[in-house]
C-alpha cells in the first residue's frame, strides 16, 4: 500500500494506465495535423471522431453534439457566455445557484459588468436547490438557467430533470456543470433534458487540460474564440489529439465500468464513515448520503480546526478542507455558507472523496490515521 493514501478524488484523479497507453502513440508517433489532407493527418481526424463517439456514448448524446475543450472551466465559460450572448435579444437575466463552482460563479459575476442580472438561488441544509425556487425566479427576460449536476464539496446531486421540465416549459436554455458527476453516476443528457453540459477529463481518470461540452443539436451558442474551422468552427484551434484520445478512452472505460466503480466508491465511503463514527464522538455528517455522489463525504469533527487536521495527517492521508486558508486567515467555503452552516462547523469540515482505485485496506488505514489525529487534537 502506497502512502500517503489519496482520498481527494474530487480534486483530481490519477490517469488510468489504459488511458496513458492509448495516448502515448499520439505523443510519440502520430503527429499529423487532423486538418491535413494526407493520410497521417486524415487518420487523426478519424481518431478524434472515435473519441467523440466514446464521450457521446457515456452521456447518451450524439457524437456531433460533443465539442472538445480544455476542461471544465472552459466548458462552463463557453456554455454560459456563449448561450447568453447568443440569446441576449430575449433578455439579460440568468438564474444560477449559490453553490456553483467558481468556473460558473465568476463567469456570472463577470457578466454583471456587461449588463446581465443574476438570480442566485438559495439551497437547503443539504445543499439542494428547490425546483420551485427556480420557477419563481423566472422572468420574461430570463435567457439561461445554470445549475450544477453535483457539488464538488458536499456531493449533493441536484434535481436537474425537474428543473429541465421547468426550463422547457418556459422556453429557457438549461446548462449543467457535470464536472463531478460524469463517470461517477449515470448521466443521460436526453433523459435529464439539459441543453448544455460540461465535462472535465481530470475528474474521470483522463489528464488535466481536456474536457468537453455537450451542446444539444439545434442550440445556438456564440464562440469564445475565433480561428480556423476546427470542431465545426465552434472551438477553433489545432486539436489536442493525444488528450482527446485520452478523454475518449477514459469515457469508454467509465461507460463499461460505471456500476462496478459506483459500488466501489459507495462501499469505501460507507466503510470509512462507519469506521469514523465507531471511533469518534461529535462528528457531524454534512453530506446527505441518500442524495449524493457515491464517493463524497463532507464531515465536521467538533472543535477540530480542519487545516490543523489535514496538515497533521498530510504524510498519511490526503484529504481537503471545506474552507480556504489564505495568509493565515480561514475563509469559510461559500458552499457551506450557502447551506447556512455555522462558522465553527464549517471551519472544522473536511472533504474526503474516494475513487475507483480506493481499497478497503486504504480505508482501514485512513480510519485509524484520521481517528488518531482527531483524538490527539481534542
Ligand X SMILES: Cc1ncc(COP(=O)(O)O)c(C=O)c1O
Contact 141, 92 (CB under 8 A): yes
Using the minimum distance from each CB to ligand X, give the nearer residue, 158 or 264: 158
Q: How far is CA 274 from the centre of its chain?
A: 26
Question: How far apart are the two ends of the chain, measured CA to CA in Å?
Answer: 29
Segment 199-238, which members bind ligand X (CB under 6 A)?
Answer: 200, 202, 211
Instruction: Name the segment binding ligand X (CB under 6 A); options: 72-80, 245-253, 264-272, 317-325.
Output: 72-80
Measured distance CA(134)–CA(220) in Å, rounded: 23
Q: Which residue in the set 146, 152, 261, 298 belongs to the binding site for ligand X (CB under 6 A)? A: 152
Q: Which is nearer to ligand X, 92 or 175 (CB)?
A: 175
* 371 alpha-carbon distance from chain centroid: 29
Assigned C-alpha cell, 285: 455528517
The reply to whether 78 sits near ligand X by the rule CB under 6 A is no
**Positive or negative torsion for Cα 267, 156, 146, 105:** negative
Tell me: does residue 16 bind ligand X (CB under 6 A). Answer: no
Binding to ligand X by residue 8, rule CB under 6 A? no
CA dist 68 → 228, 239, 255 (Å): 15, 8, 18
Toward ligand X, which CB reaches closer, 146 or 264?
146
Q: Catalytic residue positions?
A: 325
Instruction: Give the residue, chosen from 51, 94, 144, 148, that forms a contact with ligand X under the rule CB under 6 A.
Output: 148
Contact flag: residue 179 with ligand X (CB under 6 A): yes
The residue among 74 and 374 lying less far from ligand X, judged by its C-beta, is 74
Least distance to ligand X, CB of residue 149, Å: 8
Residue 71 binds to ligand X (criterion: CB under 6 A):
yes
Smallest gap from Cβ 36 to ligand X, in A, equals 29
Beta carbon of residue 207, minimum distance to ligand X (angstroms, whole number) = 10
Compute the distance between CA of residue 344 and CA of residue 161 in angstroms, rounded to an integer.
35
Of the two residues 107 and 306, which places its CB atom closer to ligand X in the complex? 107
DSSP 291-310: GB-TTEEEEEETT--HHHHH
Q: How far is the CB of 209 from ligand X (least distance, A)?
A: 8
Which single residue brings its beta carbon nearest to ligand X? 72
Integer angstrom CA distances of residue 63 from 68, 137, 235, 324: 11, 34, 15, 39
Query: Which secondary structure element, helix H or strand E, spans residue 271, and what is its range?
Result: helix 241-279
Which positions touch ligand X (CB under 6 A)?
A: 71-73, 76, 101, 103, 148, 152, 177, 179-180, 200, 202, 211
Amino acid at each position: 500500500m502506497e502512502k500517503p493514501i489519496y482520498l481527494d478524488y474530487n480534486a483530481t484523479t490519477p490517469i488510468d494506465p489504459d488511458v496513458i497507453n492509448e495516448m502515448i502513440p499520439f505523443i510519440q508517433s502520430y503527429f499529423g495535423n487532423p486538418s491535413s489532407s494526407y493520410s497521417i493527418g486524415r487518420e487523426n481526424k478519424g481518431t478524434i471522431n472515435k473519441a467523440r463517439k466514446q464521450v457521446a456514448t457515456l452521456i447518451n448524446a450524439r457524437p456531433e453534439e460533443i465539442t472538445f475543450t480544455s476542461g471544465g472551466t472552459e466548458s462552463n465559460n463557453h456554455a454560459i457566455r456563449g448561450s447568453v450572448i447568443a440569446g441576449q435579444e430575449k433578455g439579460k437575466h440568468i438564474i444560477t445557484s449559490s453553490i456553483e463552482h467558481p468556473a460558473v460563479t465568476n463567469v456570472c459575476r463577470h457578466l454583471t459588468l456587461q449588463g446581465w442580472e443574476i438570480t442566485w438561488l438559495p439551497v437547503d441544509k443539504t445543499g439542494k436547490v428547490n425546483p420551485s425556487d427556480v420557477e419563481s425566479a423566472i422572468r420574461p427576460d430570463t435567457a439561461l438557467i445554470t445549475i450544477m449536476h453535483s457539488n464538488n464539496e458536499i456531493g449533493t446531486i441536484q434535481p436537474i430533470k425537474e428543473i429541465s421540465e421547468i426550463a422547457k416549459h418556459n422556453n429557457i436554455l438549461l446548462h449543467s456543470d457535470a464536472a463531478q458527476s460524469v463517470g461517477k453516476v449515470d448521466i443521460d443528457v436526453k433523459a435529464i433534458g439539459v441543453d448544455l453540459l460540461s465535462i472535465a477529463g481530470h475528474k474521470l481518470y483522463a489528464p488535466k487540460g481536456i474536457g468537453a461540452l455537450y451542446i444539444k443539436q439545434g442550440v445556438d451558442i456564440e464562440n469564445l474564440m475565433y480561428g480556423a474551422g476546427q470542431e465545426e468552427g465552434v472551438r477553433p484551434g489545432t486539436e489536442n489529439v493525444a488528450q482527446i484520445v485520452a478523454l475518449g478512452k477514459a469515457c469508454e472505460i467509465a461507460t463499461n465500468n460505471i456500476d462496478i466503480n459506483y459500488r466501489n466508491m459507495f462501499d469505501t465511503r460507507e466503510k470509512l464513515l462507519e469506521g469514523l463514527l465507531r471511533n469518534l464522538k461529535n462528528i457531524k455528517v454534512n453530506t446527505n448520503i441518500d442524495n449524493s455522489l457515491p464517493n463524497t463525504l463532507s464531515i465536521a469533527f467538533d472543535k477540530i480546526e480542519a487545516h490543523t487536521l489535514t496538515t497533521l495527517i498530510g504524510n498519511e492521508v490526503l484529504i481537503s478542507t471545506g474552507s480556504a486558508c489564505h495568509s493565515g486567515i480561514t475563509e469559510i467555503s461559500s458552499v457551506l455558507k450557502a447551506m447556512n452552516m455555522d462558522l465553527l462547523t464549517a471551519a472544522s469540515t473536511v472533504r474526503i472523496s474516494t475513487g475507483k482505485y480506493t481499497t478497503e485496506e486504504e480505508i482501514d488505514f485512513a480510519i485509524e490515521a484520521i481517528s488518531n489525529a482527531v483524538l490527539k487534537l481534542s
